[in-house]
Amino acid sequence: MRTAPASLRFVGGRGQNGLMTDRSIVFVHAHPDDETINNGATMARYAAEGAHVTLVTCTRGEQGEVIPPELAHLANPERLGDYRVGELASAMTALGVFDHRFLGDPGFPGRPAPEVRAAGEVVYADSGMAYDHDGGVVPSPNPPLGAFALADPEEPAERLAALLQELRPQVVVTYEPGGGYGHPDHVQAHLVTMRAVELAALRAQDESAGWAVPKVYWTVLPETLARESLRTLRQTLGADYVGPDPEERLPSMVVPDNQVTAAIDATAYTGAKVEALRAHATQVTVSADGSVFALSNHATQPVLGLEFYHLVRGQPGGRTDEKGREIDLFGGTVAG
Ligand SMILES: [Zn+2]
């Protein structure tokens, strides 16, 4: 992969707290709620520090399971999709992030996406998912019309590349190749993001409109911490514990500790993350004290203010923690 030359142009502008900023970071996610679960504290921290934080959500999450019985009337793809757009807007307010886009919206840069809804409104549909007999995540046997996971990745990648060329972010964050835990839309979001970065960088070789993103990260969790926190949860909750066996195979985002190259301490923003999690009420249940949350599979997970990343494009830079991990995703970039 081509690395960015030192003389890159960065587009300056006003950050979200009104300060001048040269820092721009783009997070790409499959459904509303994924951004908060994976990167909520990081997003809130960078927004508060004046960076331009952009969230791109690929689908409206209309195949999600509705948890609260009092919201059961929303368990209809059309209604749920619209409702989750509102939940995501509330979550973004909680995180202090104001640049949010759906990849399939008509106003998104680049080629129009296929029309799969009413005239004029274009979206990629949530592909849904199913479980196999071992509890593993597999594609839904009945994906909806326009399922994001079944789209040719080239088309959404073109749209995302156009956005990257417009925003010129120093940092792009997405899932690792397994999509965190195997959801087909997450895997597709990973493929689309990596291809978009490649397309924008290829254009940067001979077009001023192109953009070679200096740093790309995948969201991960260090294995030791993941297993330890599950053991603690199981011990604390006893018979109430629902979740993976801490000694067995864990989801794909859990990686050997030495593959974690950045640890972002955003514990000061854990409160904002909890508030954003609560905003996704159809999908997420948060404990009264805000220390743990659960999705529709009821598996309990800790709310972490420390979030972890694996650098896959560009060079690490800036200060590191005692384990040699970067402590700032912008570290080493021109404006970082
Ligand atoms: Zn998701």
- Residue 125 CA to ligand 1 center (angstroms) comes to 12
pLDDT > 90: percent of the chain: 73
Q: 108: closest CA among 149, 152, 157, 175?
A: 157
Asked if pLDDT for residue 6 goes beyond 90, the answer is: no
Contact 61, 126 (CB under 8 A): yes
Structure-token match 């599979």, residue found: 297
Quick one: three-class SS letters along 221-288? EEHHHHHHHHHHHHHHHHHHCCCCCCCCCCCCCEECHHHCCEEEECHHHHHHHHHHHHHCCCCCEECC
Q: Indicate the pTM of the whole model.
A: 0.91
Give the Å distance between the CA of 33 and the centre of ligand 1.
7
Kindly indicate the confidence band of residue 117, based on its pLDDT and cuts at 50, 70 and 90.
very low
Span from the CA of 183 to the centroid of ligand 1 (angstroms): 7
Q: What is the DSSP letter of 126?
A: P
Q: Which residues have a beta carbon within 5 Å of ligand 1, which is an ion?
A: 30-31, 34
Structure tokens at 66: 């509705």
Whether the predicted pLDDT of 282 surpasses 90: yes
Q: How far is CA 298 from CA 6, 42, 171, 241, 286, in A?
A: 48, 25, 33, 9, 11
266 token code pair: 């955003």
- Which option is the CATH number for 21-313: 3.30.230.10, 2.60.40.10, 3.40.50.10320, 3.30.465.10? 3.40.50.10320
How much is the pLDDT for 134?
Answer: 77
Choose the weakest-confidence range: 195-204, 222-231, 233-242.
233-242
| Whether the predicted pLDDT of 18 surpasses 60 | no
Lowest-confidence pick of 54-58, 135-139, 226-230: 135-139
The crossing angle, in degrees rounded to 10, of helices 270-279 and 77-95 is 160
Please report the pLDDT score of residue 116 as a whole number.
46
**Per-residue pLDDT for 49 more than 70?**
yes
Say if residue 112's pLDDT is above 80.
no
Average pLDDT, the chain: 89
| Ligand 1 mean position, distance from CA 318 (Å) | 32
Say how many Å lie between the CA of residue 334 and the centre of ligand 1. Answer: 33
User: What does the domain layout of the chain look like in residue ranges?
Assistant: 21-313
Distance (Å) from CA 32 to ligand 1 centroid = 7
Residue 72 corresponds to which amino acid? A
User: Cα of 307 to ligand 1 centre, how many Å?
Assistant: 17
**Cα(187) to centroid of ligand 1, in Å?**
10
306: which strand partners? 265
Contact of 210 with 165, CB cutoff 8 Å: yes
